[in-house]
Amino acid sequence: MTAIAGDIAAAVADQVDWMETLLTELVAAPTELGREEAGQVVMCRAFADCGLQPQDVRLDAAALRAHPHASPFGWDVNAKRNVVATWPAASRGGRSLILNGHIDVVPPAAAELWQSPPYAPRRDGDWLYGRGAGDMKAGLVAIAGAVRALRLAEVALAGDVHLQSVVEEECTGNGALQCLIDGAHADACVIAEPHPDHLTIAQVGVLWFHVDIAGEPVHAAYAGSGHNAIDAAQVVLGTLRELERRLNAHPPPPYDTLAHPINLNPGLIAGGDWTSTVAAQCCLSCRLAMYPGTDPRTVQNQVEATIARVARSDPFLSAHPPRVRYDGFVCEGSEVGLDEPLVTVLSHAYSQVHGAPPALRPTTATTDARHFVRSGIPAVCFGPRAEAIHGIDERVSLSSMRKCAEVLARFILNWCGEAA
């Protein structure tokens, strides 16, 4: 056993400047859907700074579309890459590990409401502001910082550690899936999502669906003689809210501890072509959650049946039925046992740093963990403390990022074991 086992905090503290510089570079890269490459360039250099050899795992549209658990997508992915690197074991006998994070971020929405530009990282005390700072570029930095601290301390492990910076977590999960298609495997996976005081042991599945609604255009002066597709979209949404209420009526464990675990979110609406013309078309795009163990096809059927019922009650919609289509998330939920070795060993590492074990909680969001769980690789989420993710003035605690890196470094040692 090397001296590092008793002085991990100091080893990680030595990487704080490196980690904060890396995070600033990453937040300055606007890695929205289709623009992820700028961040992957930074992560490639970061993995190299850890003394590792970065490799590309390129997205393969044909391979993804042929996979039964890929989410549908209508955009070009063939120029995209995941960046991965392996810290190979110096001896055998230990357990292997995947440390995963996503480089993509959601758009900043109303940028004018931010205190500073979303992609101009700004520090205020312990907080670093910027889109993606918490979700989840600080998690990627904590992963890299933990590995760099151990490697510079000349630790040798008895199990392989695989680092992954993946794309498309925010819309399909197909980046992480591509890593698995290409043969990634380990005894466990930790995804450094912003879950600072707990491990996420269950997550919902997610369905993105789009409802194309027809209208009957006439001059606005005679609006009563037409059929407004935007008005019809409101009726469709009201009926979908009834489905949401039914899905929340009797939640199964562990979601029975939450008041409203299944959320329907109407995220986009687009319709009409002229202010003085009754809208001839409208598209309503929604996100709906589902419990672990629910087949996404079941939820698709529920959505389609719900919309079909409301269409039958309207003569125009009955003759021109709304069309439901799928682009983006179509994915199941996942869950790991509370006695899973991954959970107990990571909880112990957390206790070593914080003096008490983390909570074990379900989340009403989805993450790439489902892909690993389905592939036989137990996976949980644990990462730095963040606020306002997907919102205005997203920010992450820099001290929490350091503590997260320390927990991960201790966990790597405990999980993989030191080489004999």
Structural domains present in the chain: 3-203+333-416 (3.40.630.10), 205-331 (3.30.70.360)
Which three-class secondary structure state does DSSP give residue 9? Answer: helix
Looking at residue 4, its pLDDT comes to 63
**For the chain, what's the residue count?**
420
Whether residue 370 is predicted with pLDDT greater than 80 in this model: the reply is yes
pLDDT class for 226, splitting at 50, 70, 90? Answer: confident
pLDDT at 5: 58
Residue 152 predicted with pLDDT over 90? yes
Please say if the pLDDT value at position 1 is more than 50. Answer: no
Give the CA distances from residue 10 to residues 4, 15, 138, 149, 243, in Å, rounded to whole numbers and listed in that order.
9, 9, 19, 9, 53
What is the rounded distance in angstroms from the CA atom of residue 328 to the CA atom of residue 39? 22
Over range 353-377, report the average pLDDT: 97
Question: What is the mean pLDDT of the segment spanning 400-419?
Answer: 97
Average pLDDT (128-156) is: 97
Q: Whole-number mean pLDDT of the chain?
A: 96
Torsion angles phi and psi, residue 123, rounded to 5: -100, 135
Q: In this model, does residue 158 exceed pLDDT 60? A: yes
Provide the whole-model pTM: 0.95
Which two tokens mark 223?
């609006």
Instruction: Give pLDDT, residue 409.
Output: 98
Question: CB neighbours of 381 closer than 8 A, spacing ≥ 6?
Answer: 190, 191, 192, 193, 195, 199, 200, 203, 363, 367, 369
Residue, of 134 and 224, whose pLDDT is higher: 134
Report how far residue 201's alpha carbon sits from residue 47's, in angstroms, rounded to the nearest whole number: 28
- Identify the pLDDT of residue 279: 96
CB 141 within 8 A of CB 401: yes
Spatial separation of the C-alpha atoms in residues 72 and 327, rounded to whole Å: 5
Residue 97, pLDDT > 90, answer: yes
Q: Using an 8 Å Cβ cutoff, are 175 and 39 in contact?
A: no
- For 252-272, the pLDDT digits (tens) are 999 999 999 999 999 999 999
CB 229 within 8 A of CB 214: yes
Decide: 304 and 294 in contact? Cβ < 8 Å. Answer: no
Return all residues near 316 (Cβ < 8 A) that are at least 6 apart. 214, 216, 227, 232
Q: pLDDT grade, residue 420 (50/70/90)?
A: confident
Question: For residues 172 and 71, is the Cβ–Cβ distance under 8 A?
Answer: yes
User: What residue spans of 50-120 are helical by DSSP H?
Assistant: 61-66
pLDDT tens for 35-47 read: 999 999 999 999 9
Nearest to 176 by CA among 84, 89, 255: 84
Q: What is the mean pLDDT of residues 322-349?
A: 97
pLDDT of residue 186: 98
Q: Which one, of 16, 31, 52, 48, lies nearest residue 404 by Cα? A: 16
pLDDT > 70? residue 34:
yes
Q: What is the pLDDT of residues 179-210, one digit of tens each?
A: 999 999 999 999 999 999 999 999 999 999 99
Q: What is the pLDDT of residue 128?
A: 98
Q: What's the pLDDT at 6?
A: 66
The contacts of residue 266 (CB under 8 Å, 6+ apart) are 237, 284, 285, 286
pLDDT band at 109, cuts 50/70/90? confident
Q: How confident is the model at residue 310 (pLDDT cuts 50, 70, 90)?
A: very high
**Would you say 403 and 355 are in contact if contact means Cβ atoms under 8 Å apart?**
no
> What's the distance, CA 113 to chain centroid?
24
DSSP 256: G
Residue 51: count of CB within 10 angstroms of its CB: 12
Tell me: pLDDT of 13 over 60: yes
